[in-house]
Structure formats: structure tokens, C-alpha cells
Amino acid sequence: NPGGRNSLSQNPNARTIEILGQMGQYYDEMNDSWRTLAYRRAAATLRKQSAKVSTAEEAEELRFIGKRLAQKIEEIVFTDRLRRLDNTRDDPRDKTLRLFRGVYGAGLSQANKWIQQGYSTLEDLADKAKLTENQKIGIDHYEDFAARIPRAEVKAHGEFVRDALQKIHPGFDAQVMGSYRRGAKDSGDIDVMITSPGASMDTLRNVVFEQLVSQLFKQDFLKAKLATSSHTNNGTKWHGASCLPTSKVWRRLDLLIAPEEELGAALIYFTGNDIFNRSLRLLASKRGMRLNQRGLYKDVIRGKNREKITNGTLVEGRDERRIFEILGVPWTEPTERIC
Ligand code: DCP
Ligand code: MG
Ligand code: MN
């Protein structure tokens, strides 16, 4: 968890948190969202402890830590490692699966397919497999996309986008969201959100996804457009790869647009992290409201399993702080939105 690293070195549970984090990442790669969440929550709980948690008994007293996780925490403290994690590293099939899942745009099922077809290296894929354009780029730039992006470089990409944008349209502004806004010292990708007072969604789409994107390709800053399987996109995101004039490393870049009246909700959503968002949404739903990247809505009618029956009416979309207030959540600085 990048944003948490600043304070991590002083935490008495630093080593345990590190290993739990790696375990969570492993399950994330395996698409096991339930275990991913469990490990990330346990790590977040330990991050808040001021004393070292050594025994399973102590660990089990804490929020979000059950018996099994507690035993794992004890194992880490007493052996400085976790066998379950070591096992995942030794298993060659897991290794290949992880390698293939690291290809941009390749999900778990694609990675498994490649394994079933007998491939075991990236060279195999490049030479023999039938690949989509996306997958070819993902393989050619495998190491680029796997590398963390230092904060200063994330900032420079954001500034490059903003400069080009303001030459096209001085009233438009771009800001870097995601882990960068949470203060992370490095990021997995670069999320740039673009907005302009008074501009409609159609105008934003045209200026950003047509004019700006083609200008940035002309400047050789954008290198490729990358499709995703995301269904929630509906014309508000552009995914691709960018590269600074001073570098050879391609980075994953997302361009997002938000009209002024949705800016607050978009700021919350794209700042994350994803678990923080999830808990805000759950809280909204408990209060009969609904929060998404466009706004906070009230009078939402829900069924037995909290599934929504009506959309409700918009309460607030524009103002990030107001959304916290209406939800009854104390204002939380972006750098604190780490779960
Ligand atoms: N987001 C979310 N739920 C998801 C995916 C994203 O709420 N399933 C939101 C929260 C994220 C933001 O979008 O913070 C940006 O998504 P990223 O995947 O780029 O994640 P981060 O920027 O937080 O981290 P990274 O440094 O890995 O890019
Ligand atoms: Mg990001
Ligand atoms: Mn992103």
C-alpha cells in the first residue's frame, strides 16, 4: 500500500504488515477478492497499532483479524516468514500464472488458457500465441508496465498533459488523482482527471478524447491506446500508454473526465483507495443514500439485499467536502484515505 509507506518504517509491526501485504497482493493476482480484502484489512489494522503484535492471541483481539490470520501473524513474527507465501513463490505453475497475468489486459482466464496451450515464457507468447494488439503491447512493454512510477515522474506526466490541454483550451484543468493524490511515493499508473467550469460532458469528451489525445500522440507523448474490459466506463475514461520526452519507459496513463457538477464525487472516487471508496458506499447505503463517481443520491429505495430499486434524487455532486458532511463522515485528507 504505497501511501502507507511513509510511516511504515517506524511501525513496530512493519515486517508483519509487509508480508501480509504481499499475501494480499498474491490473492489479488489470483482474483481472490475475498482473501485480498481480508489480508488488506488485517494489514490496515496492524498499521494502526502502536505496540508490536506478536502472538495469535493478541492478534485475534483486533478488528478484522480472525483465528487463521492471527496464526499467520504469529508465524511471521516468530519465523520472519510465511510458509504459505513461500509456497506460492516456489510453485512453477503459480509463477507462470503470475507472469502471464502481468501482461496488460490479460485476465486470469487468458493466463490459464496460455498455460493450457503449453506456453511458459513471454517469448513463447510473442512467437507462437495468437495475440490481440493490446496483448502485444503488454508483452513488448511488460517490464515498463510492471515497474512502479516514481512520484516526480507521475507529476511530470500530469504537467505534460496539463500544458498541452491549456494550449487547446485555457479554461480546462488537469489534476493527478489515484495513489498520487493520496501522497504515494510511487504509483502503479497515472490517473489524470480533466474538468472545466461550465463544460458539458459532450464538450469534455470532444476536447479530451479527440483534440487532446490526438495532440498528445502528435507530440509523441502518447504511445498507444489500450482497450479494457471494464463495463463501467461509459465514455468517461481513456486508457493508454505515455512516455516523457526524456525517457524510454512507457507508463500506463488513464485520462478521466468529470463535469463541474460531478467534480466532488469524481474527486472522491478517483482518489480512492478502492477500499476506502467501498466503505463510503456501504455507509451511504446504510443511510438510505447512494454514492457513485457522479454524486450522492438520497431516497434510494433498496430491496432485501440492499439492491437498489430506485435511483433516488441527487443531493450533492459538486463539492467533495459537502459529500463527507452529508454522509456524516469527518473530512479525511486524501493522504489519510488508506485502508
Ligand atoms: N477505483 C475504485 N475501484 C476500483 C478501481 C478503481 O474505487 N475497482 C478508484 C479508486 C482508485 C482510483 O479509482 O484509487 C484509481 O484506480 P487505480 O487502479 O489507478 O488505483 P490507484 O491509483 O489507487 O493505485 P495505483 O498506484 O496502483 O494506480
Ligand atoms: Mg492509479
Ligand atoms: Mn488508474
Mean pLDDT by runs of 10 across the 339 residues of the chain is 51 94 88 91 93 96 94 95 87 85 88 94 96 95 97 98 97 97 97 97 96 98 86 80 98 97 98 93 93 93 81 94 97 92
User: Is any ligand 1 atom within 6 A of the Cβ of residue 45?
Assistant: no
CB 83 within 8 A of CB 75: yes
Q: Which residues pair with 190 in a beta bridge?
A: 253
C-alpha cell at 181: 493524490
* Alpha helices per DSSP H over 117-257: 122-128, 133-140, 142-146, 151-168, 178-181, 201-205, 213-218
Annotated catalytic residue within 52, 72, 167, 304 = 72
pLDDT value at residue 235: 85
The interaxial angle of helices 67-79 and 33-47, nearest 10 deg, is 60
The answer to whether the peptide bond before residue 292 is cis (omega within 30 degrees of 0) is no
Integer Cα distance of 58 and 69 in angstroms: 12
Q: Give Cα 206 distance to the centre of its chain.
A: 26
The pLDDT score that the predictor gives to residue 9 is 65
Residue 130 bears catalytic tag:
no
Q: Which of 1, 24, 26, 16 is nearest to 89 (CA)?
A: 26
pTM for this one?
Answer: 0.81
State if residue 196 touches ligand 1 by the CB under 6 angstroms criterion: no
Q: Which residues contact 63 (CB under 8 A, 6 or more apart)?
A: 45
Ligand nearest to the CA of 254: 3
Q: Which residue lies with its CA nearest to atom 27 of ligand 1?
A: 188
- Distances in Å between the Cα of 213 and the Cα atoms of 162, 207, 209, 237, 241 are 12, 8, 5, 12, 11
**Residue 252 Cα to ligand 2 middle (Å):** 9
Helix, strand or coil, per DSSP, at residue 238? strand
**pLDDT in the model for residue 3:** 42
C-alpha cell read off for 279 = 466503505
> How far out from the chain centre does Cα 236 lie?
16
Q: How much is the pLDDT for 231?
A: 56
pLDDT, residue 304, reads: 82
- Can you tell me the ipTM of this complex? 0.98
Rounded to 5 degrees, φ, ψ at 316 are: -160, 135
- DSSP letters, 228-266, are ---SS-TTSEEEEEE--TT----EEEEEEE--GGGHHHH
Largest CA distance in the chain: 61
